[in-house]
Amino acid sequence: MTKTNSEGYKQVAKLTIYPAIPGKNKQSVQSAWAAIGGKDSFPCDDQAGLDGNTGIAIETKTSVFAVGTLQITNETPDFGSGNLVWDFIDAGGVVADAKHDAMGFGFSNGSQCSSLSSGTWTKPNFTSATWGPVPILIAYSGVVTPKTPNGDFAYVGSHPLGEFNDATIVDSAGKQGPIVITGASSDWLAAR
pLDDT for res 185: 66
Three-state DSSP state, 29: helix
Whole-prediction pTM value? 0.88
Q: Which residues pair with 136 in a beta bridge?
A: 68, 105
* Cβ(33)–Cβ(135) below 8 Å: yes
pLDDT for res 55: 66
Eight-state DSSP code of residue 75: S
pLDDT for res 24: 92
Comparing C-alpha atoms, which of 118, 128, 137 is closest to residue 15?
137
With left for phi above 0 and alpha for psi between -120 and 50, is residue 191 left, alpha or beta? alpha
What is the rounded CA–CA span in Å between residue 145 and residue 147?
5
* Cβ(51)–Cβ(115) below 8 Å: yes
pLDDT for res 186: 58
Q: What is the pLDDT along the chain (192 residues), one digit of tens a residue?
A: 998 888 999 999 999 999 999 999 999 999 999 999 999 999 999 987 776 665 668 999 999 999 999 999 999 999 989 889 999 988 876 555 667 899 999 998 889 998 888 788 888 988 999 999 999 999 999 999 999 988 888 888 888 888 887 678 887 788 888 888 877 665 555 555
| Cα atoms in the Cβ-side hemisphere of radius 13 Å centred on 133 | 14
User: Length of the chain, please?
Assistant: 192
